[in-house]
């Protein structure tokens, strides 16, 4: 059975819904509470590659830390964006599910079902 991992924030309703969808489909994922245990730079780069997006596409732009980190400056390169997400893991969009070597952002939560 493929390993499934969810980058989860239990306080987020979308994250809880995505986790429930996985469980309803018979999948018990490994849960990584990324706010308590933030990803490393390498782990974040791998996630971005699996998602097939740019680092900026993984940002939560409405968080206070977005402006604090100067991320509204579109001239910042990918390295600066990744470093900001490491410094402020709250900026990482959630939930992210990895299943069978593929990844999806669970916004809306039903998108995680595309992996099954």
Q: In 3D, which of 115, 53, 55, 116 has the Cα closest to residue 91?
A: 55
Catalytic residue list contains 27: no
CB 106 within 8 A of CB 18: yes
Which of these is catalytic: 5, 10, 11, 12?
12
Q: Tell me the CA end-to-end span of the chain in Å, nearest whole number.
A: 12
Burial 32-57 (b: 16+ CB within 10 A, else e): bebbeebbeeeebeebbeebeeebbe
Report residue 17 as tokens: 């819904």
Catalytic residues, which ones?
12
């Amino acid at each position: 059975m493929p390993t499934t991992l969810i980058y989860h924030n239990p306080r987020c309703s979308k994250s809880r819904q995505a986790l429930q969808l996985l469980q309803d489909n018979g999948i018990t994922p490994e849960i990584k509470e990324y706010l308590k245990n933030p990803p490393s730079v390498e782990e974040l780069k791998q996630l971005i590659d699996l998602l097939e997006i740019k680092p900026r596409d993984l940002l939560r732009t409405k968080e206070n830390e977005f402006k604090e980190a100067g991320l509204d400056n579109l001239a910042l390169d990918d390295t600066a964006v990744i470093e900001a997400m490491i410094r402020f893991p709250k900026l990482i969009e959630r939930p992210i599910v990895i299943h069978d070597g593929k990844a999806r952002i669970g916004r809306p939560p039903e998108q995680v079902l595309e992996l099954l």
